[in-house]
Amino acid sequence: MEMYEGKAKKMIPLDEAKLIMEFKDDATAFNGVKKAQFKGKGVYNAQISVKLFKLLEEKGIRTHFIGIAGENKLIVERLEMFPLEVVVRNIVAGSLKKRLPFKEGHELEEPIVELYYKNDALGDPMINYYHAKSLGVSEEEIKEMERIALKVNEILKEFFKERGILLVDFKLEFGKNSKGEIVLADEISPDTCRFWDAETKKSLDKDVFRFDKGDLISAYEEIYRRISE
């Protein structure tokens, strides 16, 4: 694999089994239409991802995290990635408002899991099991990703609740390792999760950038501070 540069990260081959995942300061929203740079964002997202991957590993979730290679660089396991995004939602926000008759902030009785096809040219469309199968992802593989995603939700929801933060929704990506196991990959950060302060309901995530709600770095710093306590 050659070096791969995405919108917010670079994947650099290290050896046969490992990659370096480098977090950039670039931010994009609305499928790349809105762009900016925030000095320090890469470091916060890397450090927050490390803490959350370690927490999930302790709780028995298999992740691609191996180690740290720098303040904005992680060493991760090489995987064959599924071309999917798995979104879990606890509270109504974002694109869910266009799908169900609930207002922003409505607490769902049960978490909702959604599948999206990771494809910029198509704008990451929502898909179902049939679409996924046509893309080479079996029903068993999706069921396993959904099972892991719901377990991650239980662990993270509790962890953030204890720190005065509501886990509104988040996006996960998965890959398969050389043993054929499904492994949690990518990042878990304020770029990929919605976090609200439990009291003020203030956004502490990328919505600050998407909807010009204030200073992005102070929001990310606040998340880092609360999970480091």
- Nearest CA to 10 out of 35, 64, 46, 39 is that of 46
CA distance to 50, 116, 202, 214, per residue, from 80 (Å):
21, 17, 37, 38
> Does 141 contact ligand 5GP by CB under 6 A?
no
* 3, two tokens: 């070096």
Q: Closer to ligand 5GP at the Cβ: 94 or 111?
A: 94
User: What length is written for the chain?
Assistant: 229
With CB under 6 A as the contact rule, the residue among 148, 171, 219, 223 that binds ligand 5GP is 171
- What's the rounded Cα separation, in Å, for the pair 149 and 126? 17
- Nearest CA to 59 out of 144, 141, 147, 156 is that of 156
Which range of residues in 39-47, 100-108, 166-174, 212-220 is near ligand 5GP by CB under 6 A? 166-174
Q: Closer to ligand 5GP at the Cβ: 119 or 134?
A: 119
> Does 170 contact ligand 5GP by CB under 6 A?
yes
- What's the rounded Cα separation, in Å, for the pair 59 and 89? 21
For residues 56-95, which are near ligand 5GP according to CB under 6 A?
Answer: 85, 87, 94-95
- Nearest CA to 65 out of 190, 187, 215 is that of 187
Q: Closer to ligand 5GP at the Cβ: 18 or 111?
A: 111
For residues 18-37, which are near ligand 5GP according to CB under 6 A?
Answer: none
Least distance in Å: CB of 190 to ligand 5GP? 8
> Does 169 contact ligand 5GP by CB under 6 A?
yes
Spatial contact of 191 and 27, defined as CB atoms under 8 Å apart: yes
Q: Interface with ligand 5GP by CB under 6 A: which residues? A: 85, 87, 94-96, 124, 169-171, 191-194, 206
